[in-house]
Amino acid sequence: MRALLLSVLFVVASTATFGQSIRVTILHVNDAYQFTPVEGGKRGGLARLLTLRKEAIADNPNTIFTLGGDTLSPSVETRTYKGAQMIDAWNAVGLDYAVFGNHEFDIKTADLLARIKESKFTWLGANVIDTKTKKIFADTPPYVIREIGGVKIGIIGLLLPETKQTSSMEDSLTVTDYCSTAKKLVREMRLKKKVDAVVGLTHLFMAQDKKLAACADFDLILGGHEHTLLQSSSNGTQIFKMTADARELGKFNLNFNAKTKRLESFDWEIIPVTDKIADAAEFTPIFEKYRGLLEQLAVKVGATSVELDALSQSVRQKETNVGNFVADSYRDAVKADIGFVNGGSIRADLTYQPGPLTKRDVLSILPFNNPIVKVEVTGKLLKQILEHGVARSGPGEDNEPGRFPQVSGVRFEYDTSKPVGSRIISMRIGGKTVTDTATYTLATSDFLVSRGGDGYTMLKDGKKLSDAATAPKDSDVFEAAIKNSPNSTISPVVDGRTTKVNR
């Protein structure tokens, strides 16, 4: 696996082609949580994607558009519209196929079913099963076969098994093994349906995508989930992922022999989606429909005097100034000894330059609307919590799904050269070493306490001291902390609360 460091890359992998060829173009994005541009309007924006799709179709009518999951949640707008705004946007863009991401299951099942019904595109998730009916969730197809330009392309959608830990998926739904599912269905497409190529549309970790490529005969895997521009290959199958919020568009040309229908060559290009690309006029009704909310979100709530690091790759791997400020706000709000934030709950995936902070900024950083509860824990339990938080922080370990701890009131050191479960080498609260038998109060999201979110199941062993039903919500706490700062201006710093050492 390697991150693609250049803004535009083009690679051609070809063999000799005899006779006229048939070119099929696939456009791909993943983890697109809002239809408006990000980074101050410089990157992303679904109106720009529509412009690029129109250009691609003008160049090649044999074009399809895919989404690698995570779009209905989390976002600022979803708190009001339950993901309907993204369905409207994707319908306008002309999306063809989307795989379920883990965060599609943040919204209630009834709302998700309504969103599926409203979609003019096809949702896929062959390994998402309703245990009550024993069928694929929402009666979505196990795969689709698209005949385009004279060739048959099979497309199957697969979701990561960690979804139960990283979303609010209801108990009656389950995610089965993606490898065994693919083995069965890809074989069926190849042997019975006689497809000419198979594309995996996935929401998995890259390591899982690579395993998937060895499980079944794929020609191409287009994924999502990591929020990082990635390209890899496994078992002869190319694997690609874009970053989040449509910052770039993947364009993949599959070239088939017109006579034999055999896939003979493959071209790909990564297209940056920037403010140099015009908004498609056809997208204007979407902007107009949601203009009222967009204007409300532009209201200023305060300011920052320093750059804020809310990048996913930062908050999921190391101490950050945003993480510290959020953890401080949790701790202060419920008067606890410790503030604790799982890095994955900080969602903006942006850096914020010194200047005003708006309602959108606050809600983009903390969009889940989770109650902040107070829990009593022993020193022994606190160590288990922190051990879980750094269990995926070693070299080559992917710290998904966002368990890395951002903390307040506690300082700890950890050594990733040690085995998982014994990496915490020191913990101090109020300048004193934490002892196993001492008790401390901890402020954190009820998602971690009640649902064991991000694998924090050990938090259920703590003594819950406050009721989630009446607890303050995460973004409200965060906003209040900004407003209550001197001149409503924050200046958070990284001050060594979390120290990674290798001895």
pLDDT band at 149 (very low <50, low <70, confident <90, very high): confident
Beta bridge partners of 341: 406
Model confidence at 399: pLDDT above 90: no
Give the CA radius of gyration of the chain: 23
Confidence of residue 398 (pLDDT cuts 50, 70, 90): low
DSSP 247-311: SEEEEEEEEEETTT--EEEEEEEEEE-BTTSPPPGGGHHHHHHTHHHHHHHT-EEEEESS-EEE-
* pTM assigned to the model: 0.84
- Smallest Cα–Cα separation from 276: which of 7, 64, 86? 7
Residue (of 63, 56, 13, 24) closest to 257 by Cα position: 24
Higher-pLDDT residue of 15, 333: 333
Instruction: Give the residue-averaged pLDDT of 68-83.
Output: 95
Residue 400 banded pLDDT, cuts 50, 70, 90: low
pLDDT of residue 278 exceeding 50: yes
**What confidence tens digit (pLDDT) does each residue in 484-496 have?**
999 999 999 999 9
User: How many C-beta atoms lie closer than 10 Å to residue 365's C-beta?
Assistant: 26
- What is the arithmetic mean of pLDDT over 198-210? 97
pLDDT for 397: 67
Q: For the chain, what is the mean pLDDT? A: 93
User: What's the pLDDT at 12?
Assistant: 35
Is 86 a residue whose pLDDT tops 60? yes
In the structure, what pLDDT confidence band is assigned to residue 41 with cuts at 50, 70 and 90? very high
What would the mean pLDDT of 162-180 be, rounded to a whole number? Answer: 94
Confidence of residue 5 (pLDDT cuts 50, 70, 90): very low
Higher pLDDT, 401 or 60: 60
Top CATH class of 2-289 equals alpha beta
pLDDT of residue 243: 96
Share of the chain above pLDDT 90, in %: 91
Q: How far apart are CA 214 and CA 172, in angstroms?
A: 30
What's residue 1's pLDDT? 37
Task: Name the residue ranges covered by the structural domains of the chain.
Answer: 2-289, 298-501
Fold of 298-501: 5'-nucleotidase;  domain 2 (3.90.780)
* Spatial strand order in the sheet of 220-222: 2-3, 230-234, 237-241, 220-222, 197-203, 151-159, 144-148
Q: What is the mean pLDDT of residues 273-278?
A: 98
413-439 pLDDT, tens digit per residue, is 999 999 999 999 999 999 999 999 999
User: pLDDT value at position 503?
Assistant: 60
